[in-house]
């Protein structure tokens, strides 16, 4: 393809410019979307951390009331966890 330059300007064709502009716009949109997703990920990880803390605190309350137990989350029944004698000495 021969480049015809009538105005002695160093310029790509209008079609090429349109392609470059579209590609740059698409790249910018993807980068913005990645930034949004990273922000959402950060928020979700923080919420997960807070929920894990709540779970651990509640588990401690249950253990103080019932001892070491396994809970069936489907029906609320529980069974005691056998703690080896060696661990009792550490407590």
Condensed to tens digits (0 to 9), the pLDDT of residues 19-32 reads 999 999 999 999 99
Q: Is residue 2 part of a domain?
A: no
Kindly report whether the global pTM for this prediction surpasses the value 0.85. no
Identify which of 78, 90, 48 has the alpha carbon closest to the alpha carbon of residue 56: 48
* Mean model confidence pLDDT for the chain: 90
Q: Do 81 and 70 touch, CB atoms closer than 8 A?
A: yes
The range of the structural domain enclosing residue 22 comes to: 14-90
Task: Tell whether 25 is covered by a domain.
Answer: yes
Residue 31 lies in a domain: yes
Number of domains in the chain: 1
């Amino acid at each position: 393809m021969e480049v015809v330059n009538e105005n002695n300007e160093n310029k790509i064709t209008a079609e090429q410019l349109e392609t470059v502009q579209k590609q740059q716009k698409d790249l910018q949109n993807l980068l913005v979307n990645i930034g949004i997703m990273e922000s959402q990920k950060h928020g979700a990880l923080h919420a997960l951390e807070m929920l894990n803390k709540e779970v651990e605190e509640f588990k401690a309350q249950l253990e103080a009331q019932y001892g070491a137990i396994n809970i069936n989350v489907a029906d609320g029944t529980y069974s005691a966890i056998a703690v080896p004698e060696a661990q009792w000495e550490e407590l």
